[in-house]
Amino acid sequence: MSVEFAAPLDAVAADVARALAEDLGAGDVTAALLPDIADSAYLLCKEDAIVCGRPWFDACHRALDADVRIDWRVEEGDRIAAGTVLATLQGRARALVGAERSSLNFMQTLSATATNTAAHVDAVRGSKAKILDTRKTLPGLRQAQKYAVRVGGGVNHRMGLFDAVMLKENHVRAAGSLTAAIDAARAAQPDLPLIVEVETLDQLREALEVGCTRILIDDFDATTRREAVAITAAHPRPVPLEVSGGVDLEGLRAIAADGVDCISIGGLTKHVRAIDLSLKLGPPPEGN
């Protein structure tokens, strides 16, 4: 696994502990019916996808059987075709079955997030635009889904409300002006990135004059967006422009072509459809 995809190990452990506690409760009464013998299993992907979630899958199985052997045939981030056997396992039958659902839940969700992200990254390939995620993640799976965005080729926006200051219309209203809001944010958090949302070209000019880390142009139409890019490029202290709001896959290429630096998309993490995976006991079919 590359350094770029390094999983948040503390989050993996916590996520898996919660998932297994939720699923197993006081004990797996169905798996207990199986003989506690050595057995094998294989993980099958039934559709084209980007592989993501190996650390969570492994941790689920190792939590129930520390000696389980998992042989991966694919790397994290690989593009795979329907019908691909992703991994084979050797372990105790009860543990293989007990960890099945939790391990698949992580793999199907994170592979879906990575696959969805990759489709958006592909749509802007060749432009300078980066695809960013948002905080619109599944509750409790923030770090996992943001990891999956990286695996899919996207870039993480702020992780939460603690690692960047982001000023929106309510902050500007409370402060009395955009400049006052920026000054207050700089005074309170001088070491954090400062992202400023603007609603008009006049606000854009004001943000450029005062200075910030990135400017978010939200819901600008195409003509105004292109004018914003031109104004920013002509400024002696240009900052990256981010587009958000009303962005879909079909219109993504046109937005990127206007010359913006970043496009943030909540749908990367909230509009995902689980990848179809299964874990079956026994050896994989011949030819796989």
Residues taking part in catalysis: 101, 136, 168, 197, 218
> CA–CA separation, 274 vs 106, rounded Å?
10
Please, which residues bridge with residue 49 across strands?
80
Phi and psi at 116, nearest 5°, equal -65, -45
> CA–CA separation, 256 vs 114, rounded Å?
20
Kindly state the tokens that stand for 143.
């770090």
**What is the DSSP secondary structure assignment for residue 155, as one 8-state letter?**
B
Is the separation of the CB atoms in 144 and 56 below 8 Å?
Answer: yes
Is the separation of the CB atoms in 118 and 78 below 8 Å?
Answer: no
Neighbours of 247 (CB within 10 A): 18
Q: Write the burial class of residue 273 (CB in 10 Å: 0-12 exposed, 13-18 middle, 19+ buried).
A: exposed
> CA–CA separation, 135 vs 265, rounded Å?
10
Q: Whose CA is closest to 239, among 208, 200, 262?
A: 208
Kindly state the tokens that stand for 224.
């105004």
Phi and psi at 187, nearest 5°, equal -70, -40
